[in-house]
């Protein structure tokens, strides 16, 4: 028997000697020729011992066939308990399982995919939904309460799913919808921060493009401003030749396409022709025949006008 791995409990002698029984069981469970050397045993309890055999199967490096044998009290016969393939201390294992929601990366979502958000998602917080009592952390709760008093307007109660799709005209819900506020949840401060960090990293002041830019987006005509609190730091680039076209850019970002970076010189305009209408220039139609004659001139249709 090879050197045994034992726990503090001393293994039962008869069970520890039942290596052949354990090997036969492992070979029966495994494919032919893949059960290798006996590499150790452990005492699992009173008269219960597990024998380990090397697994020679490709792809299972470090794994071991484990055959557990047992013996009844005062019995001399050792019997098989179970056989299983187990990873050893140096086994090659698959990486630890990670839930899909943590595995997802930007760009993983394809057409038709749904990405549910957790009810406790830290990036979101309750928005204004048209309830009688606006959420206490809603940015519009006070304004809406004032409007209710001033206009005695109708406020639809109930969760978003119960709201009428088209709120009645003039109601608080209609006003809120027009302002883009009638959403069950809105971005929390944390959600805004992590979005801003991401955008700043991709199109921010520290990028090589911004460092080499002649000026920042803040002074560029191609910058489209955005609404909300992020407007103080971000906009959208609308220059099709910029690497940031259609992307949210930091106001401190910049690129060589900045509208004022290099204004194209206007090509010089030639001076308009000068027409002198005060003089008539003689234009000979045919060469003079004799030295004394005067060349004939023609009118616009080519008719000869005679000698001048
Ligand atoms: S063209 Fe360049 S400088 Fe102008 S907004 Fe776009 S990224 Fe900013």
Residue 241 Cα to ligand 1 midpoint, Å, equals 9
Asked whether residue 142 carries a pLDDT value surpassing 60, the answer given is no
Residue 267 Cα to ligand 1 midpoint, Å, equals 26
pLDDT band at 82 (very low <50, low <70, confident <90, very high): very high
Burial track 169-187 (b if 16+ CB lie within 10 A, e otherwise):
eebbbbbbbeeebbeebbb
What pLDDT does residue 154 have?
45
Residue 290 Cα to ligand 1 midpoint, Å, equals 77
**Ligand 1 atom with the shortest distance to the CA of 216:** 3
Mean pLDDT over each residue of the chain, to the nearest integer: 79
Our mutation pick for probing the ligand 1 site, out of 214, 216, 220, counting the most ligand atoms within 8 A of Cβ, is 220
Residue 107, Cβ neighbours under 10 Å: how many?
6
The stretch 165-189 carries a mean pLDDT of 72
pLDDT band at 157 (very low <50, low <70, confident <90, very high): very low
Nearest-CA neighbor of 69 among 43, 85, 49?
49
Bigger pLDDT: 78 vs 131: 78
Bigger pLDDT: 124 vs 207: 207
How far is it, in rounded angstroms, from Cα 198 to Cα 108? 17
Asked whether residue 146 carries a pLDDT value surpassing 80, the answer given is no
Helices (H), the chain: 13-17, 19-29, 100-103, 141-151, 172-178, 189-202, 208-211
Protein residue with its CA nearest to atom 8 in ligand 1: 217
The stretch 141-161 carries a mean pLDDT of 47
Asked whether residue 130 carries a pLDDT value surpassing 80, the answer given is no
Our mutation pick for probing the ligand 1 site, out of 253, 256, 260, 263, counting the most ligand atoms within 8 A of Cβ, is 253
Lookup: tokens for 217: 């987006």
What pLDDT does residue 307 have?
45
Residue 225 Cα to ligand 1 midpoint, Å, equals 12
Protein residue with its CA nearest to atom 4 in ligand 1: 258
Residue 217 Cα to ligand 1 midpoint, Å, equals 5
Sketch the domain layout of the chain as residue ranges.
3-87, 126-185, 189-250
Nearest-CA neighbor of 217 among 239, 240, 197, 189?
239
Asked whether residue 213 carries a pLDDT value surpassing 60, the answer given is yes
Residue 231 Cα to ligand 1 midpoint, Å, equals 15
Tell me the range of 115-124, 128-137, 294-303 where mean pLDDT is highest. Answer: 115-124
**Ligand 1 atom with the shortest distance to the CA of 217:** 8
Asked whether residue 55 carries a pLDDT value surpassing 80, the answer given is yes
Query: What percent of the chain stands above pLDDT 90?
Result: 41
227-279 per-position pLDDT tens digit: 888 899 999 999 998 999 999 999 999 998 898 887 666 777 888 888 877 87
The stretch 202-207 carries a mean pLDDT of 94
Protein residue with its CA nearest to atom 2 in ligand 1: 255
Residue 207 Cα to ligand 1 midpoint, Å, equals 13
Lookup: tokens for 1: 């028997």
Protein residue with its CA nearest to atom 6 in ligand 1: 237
Bigger pLDDT: 155 vs 274: 274
Residue 232 Cα to ligand 1 midpoint, Å, equals 16
Asked whether residue 4 carries a pLDDT value surpassing 50, the answer given is no
pLDDT band at 2 (very low <50, low <70, confident <90, very high): very low
**Ligand 1 atom with the shortest distance to the CA of 203:** 7
Ligand 1 neighbours (beta carbon < 6 A): 217, 220, 222-223, 237, 239, 242, 244, 249, 253-255, 257-258
Would you call 102 helix, strand, or coil by DSSP? helix
Lookup: tokens for 114: 């749904």
Residue 226 Cα to ligand 1 midpoint, Å, equals 14
């Amino acid at each position: 028997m090879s050197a045994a791995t034992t726990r503090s409990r001393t293994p039962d002698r008869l069970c520890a000697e039942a290596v052949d029984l354990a090997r036969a069981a492992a070979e029966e469970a495994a494919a032919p020729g893949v059960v290798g050397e006996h590499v150790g045993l452990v005492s699992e309890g009173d008269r219960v011992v597990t024998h380990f055999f090397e697994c020679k199967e490709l792809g299972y490096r470090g794994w071991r066939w484990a055959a557990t044998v047992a013996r009844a009290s005062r019995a001399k016969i050792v019997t098989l308990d179970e056989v299983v393939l187990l990873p050893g201390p140096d086994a090659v294992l698959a990486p630890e399982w990670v839930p899909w929601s943590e595995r997802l990366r930007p760009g993983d979502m394809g057409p038709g995919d749904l990405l549910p958000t957790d009810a406790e998602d830290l990036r979101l917080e309750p928005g204004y939904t048209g309830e009688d009592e606006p959420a206490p952390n809603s940015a519009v709760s006070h304004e809406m309460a004032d409007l209710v008093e001033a206009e005695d307007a109708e406020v639809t109660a109930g969760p978003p799913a119960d709201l009428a799709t088209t709120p009645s005209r003039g109601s608080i819900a209609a006003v809120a919808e027009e302002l883009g506020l009638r959403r069950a949840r809105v971005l929390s401060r944390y959600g805004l921060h992590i979005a801003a960090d991401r955008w700043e990293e991709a199109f921010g002041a520290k990028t090589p493009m911004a460092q080499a830019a002649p000026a920042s987006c803040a002074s560029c005509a191609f910058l489209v401003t955005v609404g909300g609190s992020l407007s103080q730091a971000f906009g959208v680039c609308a220059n099709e030749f910029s690497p940031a076209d259609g992307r949210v850019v930091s106001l401190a970002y910049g690129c060589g396409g900045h509208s004022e970076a290099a204004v194209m010189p206007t090509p010089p305009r030639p001076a308009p022709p000068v027409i002198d209408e005060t003089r008539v220039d003689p234009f000979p139609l045919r060469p003079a025949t004799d030295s004394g004659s005067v060349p004939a001139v023609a009118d616009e249709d080519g008719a000869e006008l005679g000698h001048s």
